């Protein structure tokens, strides 16, 4: 059996078109959805991510502000900037790219963003809202992974979903979203004993470990849907996921490639959250 390849680029285009129509409808009422993206410091990967986020907003005709702050920015200065954006009616979404430099407390920063403009879904109020089934902003990467499953026709209800990774950005919110969709959810970590025992029982397997190609075909249940959240750069410069694509695709029923799987969805769902936030301002 060879898996169906889940084409993240194509699905992202389709989902973006849906949200562009919603953004256009708002614009017709005089509201341009606006996103502010703040980057502190010079992390090269973060710079690329932030530039892509701002570019996606421009492509959909959203207002965007790209705020670059030097690495030695004080915590107080960053919090001041966030407070100003919280009060700015042109801005419906605020994102501070993580990681921030070590002298800044990321928890304080995330709590300073108004929960109504927290398009990353990282504020404790929004984390709690997701956990209690009253979701307002789902974190973009797991939200995008859920969309990939939905658009590919993978049924979730009653299925065993296994998430490997427990980060606040991916693993934990992914588990919450799957639970909300009535999956039976197991969360595994790097400490899990006999990981393959769990992965081989997964109807849906979401891998977010940051370890290149660690999940191989022999660890996958035949016919499973495999969502690979990893992006790793190999010694030869090529990108690969946390799943060994070549062996996994011979066993899985569906699989996301890297690149071109989950990646394009993350930014798409950021745009979606920003438009949704702007919609809420008009009821
Ligand atoms: N760093 C890595 N992923 C993310 C993300 O989804 N949001 C933010 N703000 N920072 C990140």
CATH value at residue 56: 3.40.50.10860
What does the alpha-carbon distance between residue 154 and residue 152 come to, in Å, rounded to a whole number?
A: 6
Name the β-bridge partners of 160: 184
Domain that holds residue 170: 139-263
Q: Which of 95, 210, 229, 265 to mutate to test the pocket of ligand 1 (most atoms within 8 A of CB)?
A: 95
Q: Which residues are catalytic?
A: 53, 97, 120
Cα(120) to ligand 1 centroid in Å equals 7
Q: For every one of its 283 residues, what pLDDT tens digit does the chain have, with 9 covering 90 and above?
A: 799 999 999 999 999 999 999 999 999 999 999 999 999 999 999 999 999 999 999 999 999 999 999 999 999 999 999 999 999 999 999 999 999 999 999 999 999 999 999 999 999 999 999 999 999 999 999 999 999 999 999 999 999 999 999 999 999 999 999 999 999 999 999 999 999 999 999 999 999 999 999 999 999 999 999 999 999 999 999 999 999 999 999 999 999 999 999 999 999 999 999 999 999 999 7
Domain contains 280 = no
Report which of 93, 102, 149 is spatially closest to residue 122, judged by C-alpha positions: 93
Give the count of beta carbons closer than 10 Å to the beta carbon of residue 66: 16
What is the total count of domains within the chain?
2
Specify if 87 maps to a domain.
Answer: yes
* Residue 263, annotated as binding a ligand: no
Is residue 185 in contact with ligand 1, taking CB distance under 6 Å?
Answer: no
pTM over 0.90: yes
Contact present, 183 and 204 (Cβ < 8 Å): yes
The answer to whether 231 is a known ligand-binding residue is: yes
Are 246 and 152 found together in one domain?
yes
Do 181 and 92 share a structural domain? Answer: no
204 is in an annotated binding site: no
C-alpha to C-alpha distance for 109 and 264, rounded to whole angstroms: 26
CATH code of 208's domain: 3.40.50.720
DSSP lists the bridge partners of residue 65 as 36
Atom of ligand 1 nearest to the CA of 141: 6
Q: Is 207 buried (19+), middle (13-18) or exposed (0-12) by CB count in 10 A? A: buried
Residue 57 inside a domain? The answer is: yes
- The interaxial angle of helices 263-281 and 44-59, nearest 10 deg, is 50
Specify the pairing of strand 232-233 against strand 239-240. antiparallel
Ligand 1 binding pocket includes 95 (Cβ within 6 Å): yes
| Ligand 1 close to Cβ of residue 274 (< 6 A) | no
3-state DSSP assignment of residue 175: helix
């Amino acid at each position: 059996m060879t898996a169906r390849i889940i084409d993240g680029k194509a699905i992202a285009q389709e989902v973006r078109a849906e949200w562009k129509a919603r953004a256009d409808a708002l614009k017709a009422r005089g509201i341009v959805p606006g996103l502010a993206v703040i980057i502190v410091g010079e992390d090269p990967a973060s710079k690329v991510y932030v530039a892509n986020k701002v570019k996606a907003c421009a492509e959909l005709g959203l207002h965007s502000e790209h705020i670059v702050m030097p690495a030695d920015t004080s915590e107080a200065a960053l919090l001041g900037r966030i407070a100003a954006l919280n009060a700015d009616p042109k801005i419906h979404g605020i994102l501070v790219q993580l990681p921030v430099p070590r002298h800044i407390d990321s928890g304080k920063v995330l709590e300073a963003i108004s929960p109504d403009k927290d398009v990353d879904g990282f504020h404790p109020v929004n984390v709690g809202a997701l956990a209690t089934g009253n979701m307002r902003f789902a974190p973009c990467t797991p939200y995008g992974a859920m969309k990939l499953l939905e658009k590919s026709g993978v049924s979730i209800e009653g299925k065993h979903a296994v998430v490997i990774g427990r980060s606040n950005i991916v693993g934990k919110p992914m588990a919450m979203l799957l639970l909300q969709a009535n999956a039976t959810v197991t969360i595994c970590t790097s400490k899990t004993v006999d990981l393959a025992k769990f992965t081989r029982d997964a109807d849906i397997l979401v891998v977010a470990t940051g370890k290149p190609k660690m999940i191989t075909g022999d660890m996958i249940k035949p016919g499973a849907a495999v969502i690979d959240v990893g992006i790793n750069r190999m010694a030869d410069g090529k990108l690969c996921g946390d799943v060994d694509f070549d062996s996994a695709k011979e066993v899985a029923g569906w699989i996301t490639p890297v690149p071109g799987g989950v990646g394009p969805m993350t930014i798409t769902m950021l745009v979606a959250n920003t438009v949704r936030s702007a919609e809420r301002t008009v009821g």
